[in-house]
Homo-oligomer: A and B are copies of this chain.
Amino acid sequence: MTIIDPSAETLTIREMCDTYQVTARTLRFYEAKELLAPIRSRSKRLYTKQDRARLQLILRGKRFGFSLEDIRQLLDMYNRNGSNQAQLARTFDLGQDRLAQMKAQAAELQIAIAELEEELQGASAALAAFRAAAE
């Protein structure tokens, strides 16, 4: 028999919005894209702990510029959804590719940071000269 679990730590859509700084539209949009699947209590959405974990992963993915479609596929891996070997192998490969991309991006980013710092050195010197002249 299925117990309804009164201690259900579920959040309403509004509580989710406040907690994670997203709009209700965003949550429904993610659901439409099959990134989330909250339970429904008579036409209302209820977000479980798993839903919240998924949302956090989604938001983290977005911070790195991954598309929602990318994220949807990555979520499968994080969930070890790959119940069969072929599926698991595919998501594994996908993760490998992504990892390589991220490392490349990190390397480029380091270079860009160094270059920008150098630029700012020059700008800083120019500013100092200006201020000295304004004396």
Mark A residues whose CB is within 8 Å of B.
60, 63-65, 77-78, 80, 82, 85, 88-89, 91-92, 95-96, 98-99, 102-103, 105-106, 108-110, 112-113, 116-117, 119-120, 122-124, 126-127, 130-131, 134
Q: Are A77 and B123 in contact (CB under 8 A)?
A: yes
Q: Are A77 and B119 in contact (CB under 8 A)?
A: yes
Min Cβ gap A127→B in Å is 6
Min Cβ gap A54→B in Å is 15
Copy total for this chain: 2
Report if A117-B92 is in contact (Cβ < 8 Å); known contacts: A85-B130, A127-B85. Answer: no
Minimum CB distance partner of A124 in chain B: B92
